[in-house]
Structure 1
Amino acid sequence: MSHLSENNPLYEALGQYPTPFYYYNGDQLAEHIQSFQQLLHPKVQLHYALKANNNITIANLLREWGCHIEIASLGELRLAEAAGYLPEEIIYTGPGKSEKELRTAMAHQIHCINVESLAELEMIHQIATEYECKVRVGIRVNPDGEGISGASIQMAGVARPFGIDESQLAGVFERVVEMPYIQVIGIQVYAGTQIMDEKVLLSNFRYTLSLAAQIQARYPVQLEIVNLGGGFGVPYFSHEHPLDIESVMQQLTELIDEYVVHLPHSTFIVESGRYLLAASGIYVCQALYTKVSKGEHFVIVDGGMHHHAGATFRGRRPRNNYPLEIIPRHHITDGEQTQITSIVGPLCTPDDCLFKNVELPVIHAGDYICILQSGAYGLTYSPTQFLGHATPAEVLSYKGKSYLIREQGDPEDLLLRQQHIVPTTEWTAVL
């Protein structure tokens, strides 16, 4: 269990906002982003992966701090623009972009559409020909090299829906030559996410830089963008240790200096969502009841999988507990006992388990359970409609002030955009 200092502004928020809610420490976030930016090579541009946290206030702050943005839907495009991102600061990715999405992205003249299949490239060229306008695209490459990832969630180097296999690039570039309205301006390689091994990250970056140099030398393209991906891991579990990000960035700078002679016109992109945001966010819920079943102690809380699926054990291996903090509302006596406890949410499914068999101080109804490392892939990753509970509020503390940046939902939201149709049906008795 972690320990929050009593001067943490979260304590003030506890008295202002009903649980459950997400809390973001804006000062901590600002310091983290700015420290990360200072480690980057001058030719590296940091892109925020909006899927990690789609709150418009958070997105706007990251824009103010120098981030560009990566999106993967029209909803995210709308939010990015509303947050102030300019078209030249937006890259659109994803393996299943529809014709409507592609037309909208082109109409908004975003900087680059990352292509993930030859069929998608054909559709883009068909639309571009209709509009008689040149479209800037990047080719997302699925590398052929062995051991390219080493990530907790591997997204390249094996059969995946993401990207075009490296072995198929020759055919793609042969086709590009025949497409007058397509301008290939870059490549993207995203090997995987939640990489905790410094050597793995740097090996992936070196592979991508080498691949970019080979593509530029072999095909008639000038790469304005070499998107190195990201995948910087954060420690969620007790056996994990933080990346030495200063060392990683220093070695990446040396790699870029090595390859920039082959890629003199390129901007190098590093993407991140989890690493940028995770540590600044806390999911706060409150104990409703305690009980014992078959000798096992349970605490039932007012939040759960529907708000923070990433913290539950649903489909996750290994089955470890997130870091947490208990903030009691009762008086703590010296020498208060601990007990092995499971903390579960209010949903009617055994998947709604936030913590399993963890040794904690005895929890009472009304105590706060604070799940740390929750700034990324919290609300955006969760089945918020399951069982119709209201969505949680989001709260930001920044420069001495507290802001409600997303209102708590309402049970009526479940009916939003539904149409209550009662068809008239004539029943005929069957004899």
Structure 2
Amino acid sequence: MKCVQSYRRLGRPRVSSRPLRGVTRQANSSLKHRISIDQLETCAFLTLPESAKQCPPPGAMGPQFIPADSNDEQDRLLNELFMPPFRKGYVRVGPNKVLLPLYYLDYAGRIEDMEVRDSDVWIVSHPKAGTTWTQEMAWVINQDFDFEGAKVPLPERFPFLDHTPLFDYTDILPNLPELQLPLFVSDSVTYINEMKSPRYIKTHLPWELLPKQIREGTKKPKIIYVARNAKDTCVSYYHHCKILEGYSGSFDNYCKLFLGGSLCFAPFWPHVLNFWKRRDEPNILFLKYEDLKKDLPAVIRKTAAFLGKDLNEEQVDLLAEHLSFARMKSNPAVNYEAAIEINRRFNLTTADGHFMRSGQVGNYKEVMGPELIAEFDRWTQENLAKSELTF
């Protein structure tokens, strides 16, 4: 308890010169969901005075904070190249040291204790694995081809659970009074809790950070996991992070972060494999991006069967056309162009680009050299050596 007591005397730790947020304050100020001081187990990762640094960490499972003055190359790249106005720092959580923004700690308890419903439909993935594509497919199927309803922006009808933990606008909004955020952006957890059934929920959280009712099996929502080969995922995630999440570095440095498990929701392979090994559970469907590209009608039929819907061939063809890359890219309900424009308008990010770029399998060959491809291939082989999963 000596280390914990030292922390209590010190108050909040510091990351850089800015106060560390998201340690004990909850968005709804509910004591029930606060991250308790006893959960801050790895004090060696905090930027604290020397007296506190001498305290041995009581365990390895608590949040591990990324210090601003770290000599570790991965930490240094994060601090130098990936600290936009809506990020205050990063933390690693859980047994796989999942990297998330500090603001996640404000919501971790609420997500853990979230009331899940058996009627929910969840789309889970590592970022840039075909999530939006899969969301739209599942929503249209389960809503009995309500294309009029599909004109509502996807984040409103199929909200992103971890959106608010990913983007901390607290210090930005007072200076931008004209920037009005809907509830599914400003408090995505509350928005989802208040939705009527059936709810459609997107998340990039790995298995071990999903609500405990899912992990413990007390609730059995339909979960569709979509995976994509690591090289294409990395390239797509790089462009995404430039236009939406404020990454300012080179592609080579981004690949270092990807391979090192130092991007939000990483490490990559534990994320994928924890769902792959659960693929035979009746409420989980494991899909691959490459299969959607190869035979979209077949994946539509498979998904419909999983959701308990019987489709005729006319419906399959109609949905396949709706889900074509050209249609998706030009569809304002799903292409996130409005979000990109808001980032540009308020200087939250500065890079140009589109949320949907090429949609091709093997696009990595245009930007990765032979040595980098070989490094990714070795990394993939090492992680899939004991698995039947292939890409």
Tell me, yes or no, whether TM beats 0.5. no
Question: In proportion to residue count, which structure has more strand?
Answer: 1
Normalising by structure 2, we get a TM-score of 0.27
